[in-house]
Structure 1
């Protein structure tokens, strides 16, 4: 009788052990990366100091940060300008690319596999023997030093109509220069997935009119030219009419002006308030 009871206990323990081992194996399989559902993703960072065609010179020491499925990783580029992320789980990733003295780029990249079939029967390309790869070329634009351009000129306003010449705008009047070229054209993606929602930081530069009515702006540029739009803040000032009589303060505005700037050059642009 004792032998029968002991046999039953041992059999129960053996079955429980098999059940535990099976559950553990299933858990391990659930968290193990699945080939075809992971991707090696490379970001090639270049500096927009050349032309509108893709610059092949990599940008060293750029920091690339990627966040996907709740995980964030950062890689600093070497001399090749490349940052590679191994075995990323497929999904939509948020990427930030930044470098000293350059604009910062934020974008989203869809790292899901490409689809096959018709619109009604699309299936994900998961293959147990296939590791997917994707890469994105991104361009950062210098905001100081090599690769920039200069815009300078005078800023006038009709503050005394009894005088044939316009007066200078008040010292401290703020001017803003912004890149208006479509910068998404300077980025490219190959392999699985796609990139969307490019957002640049640092594409606007500010300055103020000095005491002599002059201004100078340093702006990003490329060899083939970038389009820059300049805006000036409104200001309030007293003014003098044609008869020489002082009038109450009024609001003065300036129209936006657009110029194309080339790396290493100076563009002269005078602005007139009204």
Structure 2
């Protein structure tokens, strides 16, 4: 089945019609030329036959010797009449031959024109057939390209599927990256919150240290006072060295010094313990902060 829009089929049918029409016209033209030529030759032969017959008849009217005078006179009269008739027939034959030649010339010209036209039609038909061949070649080329394109459709479809799969994978990667970004952002926010909490703890501990500083200062002052008292006791011991109550005084001074030393030592140990606790807490907070940041 062919479509109405099939240019190849239309061109081939048009070329076949044109070629058939040209061949028919060529045959008709050649037949006309042959017919005209045959009529021309037939007319010339008829004219020649009339002339020859007249001459023969004129020649056969010669009188044999030994006839009488009447026959001679009749023969002469007949010969004169035949001569006049022959002259008239020759004139008619020339005119007929001239007209026949003119008609033959016109017929030949017409036939030549028909032959030329038929030849042109054949050339046109050949051109149309060549054009039809070109159209056929172009159509075949388009058909081959279409078939090749149809063959390439599965590969193109597979390529599209691969590209679609790659696009889906890329989208999944983007989604995962976004999820990872959100997780990292949440982790960063958590780390910042932990750092802020640790800083708050450090600040609280620093406040505690600041609050304990007066006590430490008091302990230091007490230690200094104890030292001064110790110096005083030493001086008093030296003054009262020679007195009778030296031993008792020394005992009292020693007891007082022991008490003061115990108080100073207790205050110092408390201050050191508090300082160590604060330092340990600071180090622990710094370590936790670094670990979370890493």
Could you state the TM-score of these two structures normalised by the residue count of structure 2?
0.20
Q: Which one has a larger percent strand, Structure 1 or Structure 2?
A: 1
Larger radius of gyration: 2
Higher relative contact order (CA 8 A, sep 6+): 2
